[in-house]
Amino acid sequence: MEGIIVKGIAGFYYVQTEELLYQCKARGIFRKKGVTPFVGDHVRITLTENNEAMIDEIFPRKNEFIRPPVANVDLFIIVVSVTRPEPNLSIIDKFLVMAEQEHTDIAVCFNKVDLAKENELTRLTDIYEGLYPLVLTSSKTGRGIPELKKMLAGKTSALAGPSGVGKSTLLNLITQEESAETGEIGDKSKRGKHTTRHVELFKIDGNGFLFDTPGFTSFEVLDAKEDQLAFLYPEMQPYIGKCRYDNCRHLSEPACAVREALDQGKIHPSRYASYKDQMLEIQKMRKY
């Protein structure tokens, strides 16, 4: 039988087939090869005693992530809270770079819009308008939830974003069950009190799956190469190769087409600021 790993706990993997959910162990050959099954893996299993099963084969992955350990993500929804906590655009852009690296579809979800002032919401959406599909949501009013579900239909998707932005609450609304732990935002810290403890994949309407991923909340290291970073910003791509210098890093070099586009308002200053910070971070890591 074939299926997809929807959860892994304490050495057991739970594989959803077309008909049933099976508790499985992975064959020892995977450990010898240094291969660990990930949630999201498409696998072949065989039944053993007590209606349990063994994972015999892991099919080739579309992509994979180590922290958290998930595979085969079709769509990343980057969740941004418009307030409580205040949006950190630098972190948001790191999530977008990560998703661009893995060649996934990408959308940006602005959550808690019921708490936002219209001018603040417009300021945020203007940054990403035309770059990625946008959806505006509120778990309290239900705004945008049908549009979000439509985005997820037929895909294996993951919600990513900083802690406290409402990912687990959105997942609960989408799956219509208390499938993820949620935490109110502390008045002092303005961050989530509780977070999900393990990765799990939930079946949703429209023949899709949705990861609950506790690890997609922060970045310790930006995993991108210096000469590739600009390609991970879609608004910069039309200007790459048009600078005076072939190895232009678009920081302070003369006759830089990217910075000329910035001056002309074709690249948002906030996005360029994130690019610049990330480039300096990459150069610093290379130095040390």
Residue 224 lies in a domain: no
**Does some domain include residue 238?**
yes
Higher model confidence: residue 126 or residue 186? 126
Are the CB atoms for 160 and 68 separated by under 8 Å? Answer: no
User: What is the reported pTM?
Assistant: 0.86
CATH number, domain with residue 190: 3.40.50.300
Q: Judge if 151 and 84 occupy the same domain.
A: yes
With 80 as the cut, is the pLDDT of residue 219 above it?
no
In a domain, 65, yes or no: no
Locate 278 and state its tokens.
Answer: 């990330």
Q: What is the mean pLDDT of the chain?
A: 88
Residues 44 and 174 in one domain: no
Is 80 or 185 the better-scoring residue by pLDDT? Answer: 80
For the residues 159-171, what does the mean pLDDT come to? 87
Last residue of a domain, one of 39, 60, 81: 60
Residues 6+ apart with CB under 8 A from 103: 63
> How sure is the predictor about 81, in pLDDT bands with cuts at 50, 70 and 90?
very high
Distance in angstroms (rounded) separating the CA atoms of residues 280 and 260: 20
Give pLDDT tens digits for 128-148. Answer: 999 999 999 998 999 999 999
pLDDT of residue 177: 56
Domains held by the chain: number: 3
- Lowest mean pLDDT across 8-12, 49-53, 179-183, 249-253: 179-183
Omega cis (within 30) before 85: yes
Same domain, 84 and 207: yes
Confidence class of residue 245 from pLDDT cuts 50, 70 and 90?
very high
SS3 213: coil
pLDDT in tens, 110-123: 999 999 888 889 99
**Banded pLDDT at 189 (limits 50, 70, 90):** very low
User: What CATH number has the domain bearing residue 7?
Assistant: 2.40.50.140
Q: Where are the alpha helices (DSSP H) in the chain?
A: 28-32, 89-101, 118-128, 145-152, 167-175, 257-263, 269-287
93, part of any domain? yes
Kindly indicate the confidence band of residue 239, based on its pLDDT and cuts at 50, 70 and 90. Answer: very high
Report the pLDDT averaged over residues 51-56: 90
Q: Could you give the percent of the chain with pLDDT greater than 90?
A: 63
Take residue 47 and report the two structure tokens written for it.
């039944």
Among 96-100, 137-141, 269-273, top mean pLDDT goes to: 269-273
Residues 75 and 202 both lie in one domain: yes
Range of the domain at 19: 2-60
The answer on 85 and 12 residing in a single domain is: no
